[in-house]
Structure 1
Amino acid sequence: MSTSGRASARRRGQASATGSRAFASEGRVTIRDVARLAQVSPSTVSRAMAGNPRISEATRARVLEAMERLGYRPNAIARSLVTRTSRTLGIVLYRPADEAFAHPFFAEALRGVASVAQANGYSLLVTTAETYEMEAQQCLAMLEERRADGAVLLASRSSDPLVASLLQRQHPFVVLGRVPDRRSVYWVNNDNFQAAAMVVLHLLQLGHRELAVVGGRPELVVTQDRLEGVTSTLQEAGLGLAPERIALGDFTWEHGYRETSRLLAQGRPPTAIVAMDDVLAAGVIRAARERGLEIPRDLSVVGFNDDPMAQLLTPPLTTVRIPARELGEAAARQLIDRLDGRIPPVRHVVLPVELVVRGTTGPPPARGVS
């Protein structure tokens, strides 16, 4: 290089260093600052960040160096407008935030989604809503504004208008739960019908013939599948389940407590209660104890999920182990495969469950519960 060339390069370097200090002292750095320091146009900076193949490696390196000098961090929303991707998964909860995050099942499912997302370079954006209508509005806005590339729906409802809208608008999504009558939808689930059948068979083998069910919202597919598993298995044994012994409402401790108090006040109360969730089962046990009943001598109780608290109850809870974290992981893998241009191996993933027999189930009382 000639003497004049070296001097020119030195001046450019000095100018870049001076410019870098000036930008840093002015506060917030913009894409125009990066462009000025790298001696390119702002559109070139955007293309370099987006990985556009038309940008040479030398130019890309110069842009990255300028970004590093200035401490520039690209705005995620602005970047998504250029790349048409946010590298974010939307998580849609069907209940208010204070309920959702307090429930062990959803906490574990979210852990599973988050671990797979992080391993694949994706972030999470969680939406919660008070009503189904608000849930649908928030989910669609999140996807159409490109704040998320696809969505994981953490519940399945029969005739869900949100699923129909997502299909119509061709947004990528995966549902945690079985989706009836929608073979094209990607979903992950466990066989809730079979899980409930396992519970009933266990109680029948112990000698129970008078069962009751305390469950969640009736429009949720998980509630419908578990209730059908109970009633069908009883019918096969020549037994029935009276309507007054079916108490559906919500997966909350309060619902389990309230409905068990009602069930145990009946003239001929059940000898066993199938609670469709461990949180419900805790409410069932509390209500039974307040009536002076001993578990399982006077009343057997079975839950679902095998939450961490199940082993801490007194006595430890008999329950169905549902792989919540693994369900979340499977849902995230399906969605990321779709977003990254891979075709998931199957549309419907069904994970196995396990009946865990502990201390809350035993033979029925000789004369029923008084």
Structure 2
Amino acid sequence: MEVTAKNIAERLGVSASAVSLAMNGKPGVSVATREKILAEAVRMGYSVPKKILPAASQNIRYVIFLEGGDTVKETSFYSIVLQGIEARAKEYGYNVLISYFYSSGNWEDQISTICKDAAGIIILATEVEDRHINKAYTHGLEKQVIPIVLVDNATSMVDVDCVVSDNLRGAYQAVTYLFEKGHPDVGYLRSKSRIDNFNERQAGVLKARKEREIDSLAPLQSIDVGISSEQAYYDMCAWLDAGGKPLSAFFADNDIIAAACIRALKSRGYRIPQDVSVIGFDDMPVCTMIDPTLTTIRVMKEQLGMTAMEILHQRITNGEYTLADRRVGVYRITISTHLVERESVVAYRT
């Protein structure tokens, strides 16, 4: 009796498609499952191709895009996203290669390099702007037949899969939380370096103030500070030394800025949170390393990476390339955020 893939699937209690992927050396099953299927196939006398390409030899590339790099390099955000990518990649049997893409470098060479020997690409697009997408297209990206997923940013310029955090709602939730604590108004510790994520967070701040009609009573107290910890500290000190009087509560574009400005406020005699409450964004490790610990909006960083990897795996398995086939719809997936209460916020005291 001839042994079929269906026989093997029934014997192992797996799907026929899993057997097909394993027997044809395609990604889509874990290394352990592949080995179990191949071993059972040999035991049952099934003719296994002599050279099966194991899924572990399938590479996907995690590309960290840098435009200056200050926004990315100041935090460990990119490495936590990587943990999520690697967790799913391991399940599916991929190797994860890491590359940096410098906007100041040769675009043709870099595009060619990152697409070489990779089944798919995940780009940390925190610092990507539409002008970068347009430039990539004119320098060879459009010719690449390879699935690509952007993480931590989205674009409407091209059909490409994107996974992002709900920045607007997260900032809105943070400012609303401060209002609910009784603070009459909320200031904004605003990064001088602007990326799409920060612009969305600013929109969330404005939305929360508008709903309470605070915007009609007073302009937003927005303090522009550098993106690095030291520059944010110096800028905040300079604002205070120039006579700036802080409100009782502030929302910061990210945790690095929040922590630096807390340090500046304390250096000028303000008590945190008794005099000034501060809330950050991202929930990075620094939040629990400062005094007081930082209330923040948690971004599901590992989930961003895992979701991106799941989409990429689906594209690879189905042979779909959104940049090359306009008939293939794209994903725009938004991962929710949530508030993490710690010690840097208290109820307003008159």
| TM-score, structure 2 normalization | 0.71
Measure, in 1, the Cα distance between the counterparts of 2:167 and 2:310.
Answer: 22
CA 137–325 in structure 1, closer or farther in 2 if over 3 Å, else same: farther
Q: 2:163 aligns with which of 179, 185, 188?
A: 188
Deviations 1:10-57 (A, max 9, x none): xxxxxxxxxxxxxxxxxxxxxxxxxxxxxxxxxxxxxxxx969xxxx9
User: Which secondary structure state, in structure 2, belongs to the residue aligned with residue 320 of structure 1?
Assistant: strand
CA 259–98 in structure 1, closer or farther in 2 if over 3 Å, else same: closer
Shift of 1:135: 8.0
| TM-score, structure 1 normalization | 0.68
Shift of 1:254: 2.1
Which runs of no fewer than 5 residues in structure 1 stay unpaired? 1-49, 65-78, 80-84
CA 273–260 in structure 1, closer or farther in 2 if over 3 Å, else same: farther
CA 336–60 in structure 1, closer or farther in 2 if over 3 Å, else same: closer
AA paired with 1:214?
Answer: R
The structure whose RCO (Cα within 8 Å, separation 6+) is larger is: 2
Measure, in 1, the Cα distance between the counterparts of 2:133 and 2:106.
Answer: 8
Measure, in 1, the Cα distance between the counterparts of 2:170 and 2:25.
Answer: 48
User: Which secondary structure state, in structure 1, belongs to the residue aligned with residue 318 of structure 2?
Assistant: coil
Q: Which residue of 1 aligns with 2:290?
A: 313
8 Å contact from structure 1 (residues 216, 223) kept in 2: no
CA 332–255 in structure 1, closer or farther in 2 if over 3 Å, else same: farther
Q: Which residue of 2 aligns with 1:152?
A: 122
Higher relative strand content: 2
AA paired with 1:312?
Answer: M
Deviations 1:59-111 (A, max 9, x none): 965x89xxxxxxxxxxxxxx9xxxxx972222221337898566222121011
Shift of 1:306: 1.4
User: Which secondary structure state, in structure 2, belongs to the residue aligned with residue 94 of structure 1?
Assistant: strand
AA paired with 1:177?
Answer: D
Q: 2:308 aligns with which of 328, 331, 336?
A: 331
Say which is worse superposed, 109-118 or 169-178, in terms of deviation: 169-178
Q: Which residue of 2 aligns with 1:36?
A: none
Measure, in 2, the Cα distance between the counterparts of 1:177 and 1:98.
Answer: 15
Q: Which residue of 1 aligns with 2:76?
A: 104
Q: Which residue of 1 aligns with 2:251?
A: 274
Q: Which residue of 1 aligns with 2:9?
A: none
8 Å contact from structure 1 (residues 87, 121) kept in 2: yes
Equivalent residues in 2 for 1:195-344 (5 A)? 195-205=170-180, 206-215=182-191, 217-218=193-194, 220-240=195-215, 242=219, 245-247=222-224, 249-250=226-227, 252-265=228-241, 266-341=243-318
Deviating above 6 A after TM superposition, structure 1's stretches of 4 or more consecutive aligned residues are: 96-99, 342-346
Which runs of no fewer than 5 residues in structure 2 stay unpaired? 1-23, 27-45, 321-327
Shift of 1:235: 2.2
Higher relative helix content: 1
Shift of 1:314: 1.6
Q: Which has the larger radius of gyration?
A: 1
CA 316–150 in structure 1, closer or farther in 2 if over 3 Å, else same: same
AA paired with 1:254?
Answer: E
Shift of 1:148: 2.2
CA 229–137 in structure 1, closer or farther in 2 if over 3 Å, else same: farther
Say which is worse superposed, 318-327 or 304-313, in terms of deviation: 304-313
Q: Which residue of 1 aligns with 2:335?
A: 351
Measure, in 1, the Cα distance between the counterparts of 2:48 and 2:166.
Answer: 55
CA 101–221 in structure 1, closer or farther in 2 if over 3 Å, else same: closer
Shift of 1:127: 2.0
AA paired with 2:82?
Answer: L
Say which is worse superposed, 221-230 or 88-97, in terms of deviation: 88-97
AA paired with 1:316?
Answer: T
CA 100–192 in structure 1, closer or farther in 2 if over 3 Å, else same: closer
1:361 aligns with 2:345: yes
User: Which secondary structure state, in structure 2, belongs to the residue aligned with residue 153 of structure 1?
Assistant: strand
CA root-mean-square deviation? 3.5
8 Å contact from structure 2 (residues 187, 220) kept in 1: no
Equivalent residues in 2 for 1:83-102 (5 A)? 87-95=58-66, 100=72
Identity %, equivalent residues:
24
Shift of 1:242: 4.8
CA 181–102 in structure 1, closer or farther in 2 if over 3 Å, else same: closer
User: Which secondary structure state, in structure 2, belongs to the residue aligned with residue 128 of structure 1?
Assistant: strand
